[in-house]
């Protein structure tokens, strides 16, 4: 299982930190007990058309005997490209600004990849719209009226939730798509979503706390 933390670092800075990257230590999502750092792994991420290697720390809960990967919010689960690239394509295409090919070209990704994101987002748009609209209200933001089209509803709701969150300390600098990745546990456009809104529903999304002192 993965926990997405609201990482504000530029990808370059995260890459440069290597294994020494400083991440906050969350509490166990199951028992709220303390987690201890427990090794980690390397994975690739593509940002601005370039593949980079990042270190993903793991934390472990002793009593639950479960370990969790701590993913930075610029990563989406099982996706190579950063959340901002995915979000830019989805925003342009689902928002009706342009088709998949020009959006993919601007993001520097194959158009087949971009088309996959847009399809997946479209398939989940109704569910995403409802969840983010509820989160926006939870955070004290505006109620979102569902537009006729599901994709636009989801985009509007993500924007409204982010606007509301941006009023709380630390969230504004993340940007809308890292925010969306954080509160969906990285599963914004994941195929298999068993309980993606666990964190939203219980309002337990992690605040962007500064890294613990070493």
- Minimum distance between the CB of residue 63 and Zn ion, rounded to whole angstroms? 5
- Minimum distance between the CB of residue 198 and Zn ion, rounded to whole angstroms? 14
How far apart (Å, rounded) are the C-alpha atoms in residues 101 and 193?
28
Instruction: Decide: residue 167, CB within 10 A, 0-12 exposed, 13-18 middle, 19+ buried.
Output: exposed
Instruction: Decide: residue 190, CB within 10 A, 0-12 exposed, 13-18 middle, 19+ buried.
Output: middle
Contacts of 173 (CB under 8 A, 6+ apart): 8
Contact residues: Zn ion, CB under 5 A: 28, 30-31, 33, 61, 64
- Minimum distance between the CB of residue 2 and Zn ion, rounded to whole angstroms? 15
Q: CB nearer to Zn ion: give 61 or 133.
A: 61
Q: CB nearer to Zn ion: give 33 or 207.
A: 33
Q: CB nearer to Zn ion: give 13 or 31.
A: 31
* Cα distances (angstroms) measured from residue 111 to each of 25, 55, 104, 189: 37, 28, 5, 17
Q: CB nearer to Zn ion: give 3 or 11.
A: 3
Q: Which helix (H) or strand (E) holds 36?
A: strand 36-47
- Minimum distance between the CB of residue 14 and Zn ion, rounded to whole angstroms? 27
Taking alpha carbons only, the member of 107, 141, 112, 144 closest to residue 128 is 144
- Minimum distance between the CB of residue 195 and Zn ion, rounded to whole angstroms? 16
How far apart (Å, rounded) are the C-alpha atoms in residues 83 and 72?
10
Taking alpha carbons only, the member of 158, 151, 166 closest to residue 133 is 158
Q: CB nearer to Zn ion: give 17 or 64.
A: 64
- Minimum distance between the CB of residue 65 and Zn ion, rounded to whole angstroms? 8
Q: CB nearer to Zn ion: give 30 or 39.
A: 30
């Amino acid at each position: 299982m993965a926990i997405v933390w609201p990482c504000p670092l530029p990808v370059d800075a995260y890459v440069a930190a290597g294994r020494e990257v400083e991440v906050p230590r969350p509490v166990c999502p199951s028992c709220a007990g303390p987690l201890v750092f427990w090794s980690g792994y390397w994975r690739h991420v593509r940002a601005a058309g370039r593949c980079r290697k990042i270190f993903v720390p793991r934390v472990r809960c002793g009593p639950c005997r479960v370990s969790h990967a701590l993913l930075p919010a610029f990563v989406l689960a099982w996706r190579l490209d950063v959340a901002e690239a995915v979000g830019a394509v989805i925003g342009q295409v689902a928002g009706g600004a342009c088709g998949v090919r020009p959006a993919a070209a601007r993001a520097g990704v194959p158009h087949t990849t971009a088309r996959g994101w847009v399809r997946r987002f479209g398939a989940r748009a109704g569910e995403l719209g409802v969840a983010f609209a509820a989160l926006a209200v939870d955070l004290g933001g505006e109620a979102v009226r569902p537009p006729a089209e599901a994709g636009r509803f989801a985009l509007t709701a993500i924007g409204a939730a982010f606007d509301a969150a941006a009023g709380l300390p630390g969230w504004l600098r993340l940007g809308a798509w890292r925010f969306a990745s954080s509160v969906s546990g990285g599963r914004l456009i994941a195929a298999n979503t068993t309980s993606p809104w666990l964190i939203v529903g219980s309002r337990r999304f992690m605040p962007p706390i500064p890294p613990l002192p070493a």
